[in-house]
Amino acid sequence: MRVTETVTETREVEVLRSVKCNQCGEEVEEYGFGNFLCISYVGGYASILGDGTERKFDLYEPCLKVIMAGFKIPPIINYGSFDGPDEST
Ligand SMILES: [Zn+2]
């Protein structure tokens, strides 16, 4: 059995305030966090990026759109019940 008591303590915690796009450097604070693609990639055995080497980066949606436009094979898009975004911009 564990015996506990409630105490008041002060400690430092890390709080996310903004996200910067690794591609363009755009910084977004709080509102809009959801418009980033956050990638964490670990190279596997014989990876050209290094075995077990982890890379983390964030791409803001406008940069993601440009990168996807360069794909030889376009990504699959599922709009669900929505009509989809305006692709004219
Ligand atoms: Zn960007």
Residue range 21-58, pLDDT digits in tens:
999 999 998 776 778 999 999 999 999 999 999 999 99
For residue 3, the model assigns a pLDDT of 93
Cα–ligand 1 centroid distance for 3 (angstroms): 51
Global pTM value: 0.72
What is the β-pairing status of strands 18-20 and 27-29?
Answer: antiparallel
Cα–ligand 1 centroid distance for 48 (angstroms): 25
Cα–ligand 1 centroid distance for 53 (angstroms): 23
Q: For residue 28, what are the β-bridge partners? A: 19
Tokens 């903004």 sit on residue:
18
Chain-centroid distance, C-alpha 3: 41
Task: Please state which of the ranges 11-15, 29-33, 49-53, 71-75 shows the lowest mean pLDDT.
Answer: 29-33
Question: What share of the chain has pLDDT > 70, as a percent?
Answer: 92
**Please, are residues 55 and 41 in contact by the beta-carbon 8 Å criterion?**
yes
Cα–ligand 1 centroid distance for 45 (angstroms): 30
Burial group, residue 21, by CB count within 10 angstroms (0-12, 13-18, 19+): buried
